[in-house]
Structure 1
Amino acid sequence: MSTTATQYETDYKAKFGPRAYLNEYFQEVDQTNHNVMQFIVETTEMYPAKLANATLLNFGCGPAIDTMISFAPQCAEIHMSDYLAGNLAEVQQWVRHAPDAFHWEIFLRRALSLESHGTIPDAEVTQADLEAREALIRQKMTQFLVGDAAQMHPLGDAATASYDVVSLFFCLEAAATTIEQWREMVKNVFSLLKPNGLLVWVMTAKQSKAYYVGDELFNIVPLKQSDIEAALEGIIAADSLKIQYFDVVEHEHVEGAYMVTALKAG
């Protein structure tokens, strides 16, 4: 571990509850969830060649599978990585059909509807299509890896894997305590991406400063678009960077979110 204690070393292991987090943010497909899922569908349509038969690393996955629903049909493998073993265990419960696993049906319905460009409403997605997508996701999730963004080798010194796609959703800004530490984490995580590989990244924006899980409050490093551009300078192909923004109205202390795609420099 890093010799300097990070927020997620001091707070997350002691205070973060995987099921409490799911109950807080995934009881319904709110506008933030919808926007992220729409962004993922658009990304799969924009970069089919990059995703075809790709091995995707979802870094900082938390206990959730929603962001992988629309990636699964194109990728060859999905590796889920998180700092907390409890988050990985929550995902594995779903993969193994555990009786008390979290239910993702409403998110599956929304993703399949979005993939149809709205021609199939959520309620009209068939049970057969739901079960087929669930089976595909479970098949594609082949590894569950403890990861630490504060380390130069986030998956461990022995890990030499290099990924075609690296995705992050609301991760590093909640792990770092300063903008300087956040920049170092960005550098560390994106070292796992192959040259010309695809980066898919969603993060809280502007004056977003914290989020709740039950009664626990976790800090967020506020980020501007210029912070993203500076952190990725020298890492990505400059003309490949695409940044979108949306307001977040559902969650106290969170102002908005950036949605980013880019290709790593060759």
Structure 2
Amino acid sequence: MAEFTTASEYEAKMKARLYLETYFYLGSGSLADDFLRFAMGKLHSKFSSGAVKGSTLIDIGSAPSIYQLLTSCEVFDEIIATWFTESELCELQKWQKKEPDAFDWSSILKHVCELEGNKVTTKEKEEKLRAKMKVLHCDVSKSNPLAPAEAPKADCVTATVCLEAACKNFQAYSLALQHLSSLLKPNGHLLLAGDLGASYYEVGTEKVFSLPVNEKFLREALSGNGYRLIELSTFGKPEGADPEISDYEGFYFAHLQKV
């Protein structure tokens, strides 16, 4: 198990571009293929069904990724993406500004557009997200994760593969759930997705800490801390998955509602 990655270590270890190139080319055959299809499918289902909707969505730990925001921009008027390290922010801003060396999201854009019935082109999808998105810093260890910035209370908060990296232990994970509740309107929704059992993931030669959550802990934590658990779905580790890049055992998706 990797040692907990502190904020300063995370800034040094998390090479955002290498992270993107390792995990976010759909069709590469890495563990990301299975997780991305699982997470994007679940988010699409929640948003397209009308079960989760509103004016404002806050995504925690977005940068440098956009895959988790591509369906939400069809449902919400304002999307607040968040970053933790400068390298993450840099990669996200390259995409925002359409810089020529920005990461190529085409494989994931194509998949999301297909999920939605190809109602828009991949270029139109990108432009819609850019138009609705603004970016703030976040830290889930703070009682107000967006402090000192101010943001409207959200109808929905999302966090994908975030809390496991940000929380040193199970107590910190439960506390982070309480902090995220402060960002939500009454009866607002929290959607989470992440790894089960992973104690690390690799970015190049670096091993980055991950809190090895399991289904038992999740059911206990997600049913408390100011939420009602609506759904907890798990997906086991596929056969033939690369054992070196992470020691994960599967994935989870959770839908909670603030009470």
The TM-score normalised by the length of structure 1 is 0.86
Aligned position for 1:12: 10
SS in 2 for 1:72: helix
Deviation at 1:158, TM superposition (A): 5.4
Are the aligned partners of 1:151 and 1:188 in contact in 2 as well (CA < 8 Å)?
Answer: yes
SS in 2 for 1:221: coil
Aligned position for 1:80: 81
Deviations along 1:17-67, whole A, 9 cap, x unmatched?
110100110122412211111111111123x26414x21101011301111
Alpha-carbon distance between aligned partners in 2 of 1:50 and 1:33, rounded to the nearest angstrom: 20
Aligned position for 2:213: 223
Match 2:234 to one of 245, 248, 252: 245
Alpha-carbon distance between aligned partners in 1 of 2:12 and 2:98, rounded to the nearest angstrom: 27
Deviations along 1:127-173, whole A, 9 cap, x unmatched?
x71221111111111x2111111111111145363211100000011
Alpha-carbon distance between aligned partners in 1 of 2:37 and 2:149, rounded to the nearest angstrom: 37
Aligned position for 1:22: 20
Alignment RMSD, CA only?
A: 1.9
Aligned position for 1:264: 258
Q: What letter matches 1:177 in structure 2?
A: K
Deviation at 1:246, TM superposition (A): 0.7
How many equivalent pairs are there?
245
Aligned position for 2:63: 62
SS in 1 for 2:21: helix
SS in 1 for 2:100: coil
Identity rate of aligned residues, in percent? 27
| Residues 83 and 219 of structure 1, relative CA distance in 2, 3 Å threshold | same
Structure 1: any 5+ residue segments left out of the alignment?
1-5, 117-124
Aligned position for 2:30: none
| Residues 231 and 28 of structure 1, relative CA distance in 2, 3 Å threshold | same
Are the aligned partners of 2:174 and 2:225 in contact in 1 as well (CA < 8 Å)?
Answer: no
Alpha-carbon distance between aligned partners in 2 of 1:252 and 1:18, rounded to the nearest angstrom: 17
Aligned residue runs from structure 1 range 79-228, under 5 A? 79-116=80-117, 129-141=121-133, 143-157=134-148, 159=150, 161-205=152-196, 207-228=197-218
Q: What letter matches 2:214 in structure 1?
A: K
Deviation at 1:88, TM superposition (A): 2.2
Are the aligned partners of 1:208 and 1:221 in contact in 2 as well (CA < 8 Å)?
Answer: yes
SS in 1 for 2:121: helix
Are the aligned partners of 2:57 and 2:154 in contact in 1 as well (CA < 8 Å)?
Answer: yes
Are the aligned partners of 1:204 and 1:258 in contact in 2 as well (CA < 8 Å)?
Answer: yes
Aligned position for 1:255: 249
Alpha-carbon distance between aligned partners in 2 of 1:109 and 1:191, rounded to the nearest angstrom: 35
Alpha-carbon distance between aligned partners in 1 of 2:111 and 2:130, rounded to the nearest angstrom: 18
Deviations along 1:192-223, whole A, 9 cap, x unmatched?
11111111110211x22110111110121111
Are the aligned partners of 1:248 and 1:254 in contact in 2 as well (CA < 8 Å)?
Answer: yes
Deviation at 1:13, TM superposition (A): 1.1
Are the aligned partners of 1:7 and 1:176 in contact in 2 as well (CA < 8 Å)?
Answer: no
Q: What letter matches 1:243 in structure 2?
A: L
Are the aligned partners of 1:235 and 1:264 in contact in 2 as well (CA < 8 Å)?
Answer: yes
Q: What letter matches 2:53 in structure 1?
A: L
Aligned position for 1:40: 43
Q: What letter matches 2:90 in structure 1?
A: A
| Residues 134 and 254 of structure 1, relative CA distance in 2, 3 Å threshold | same
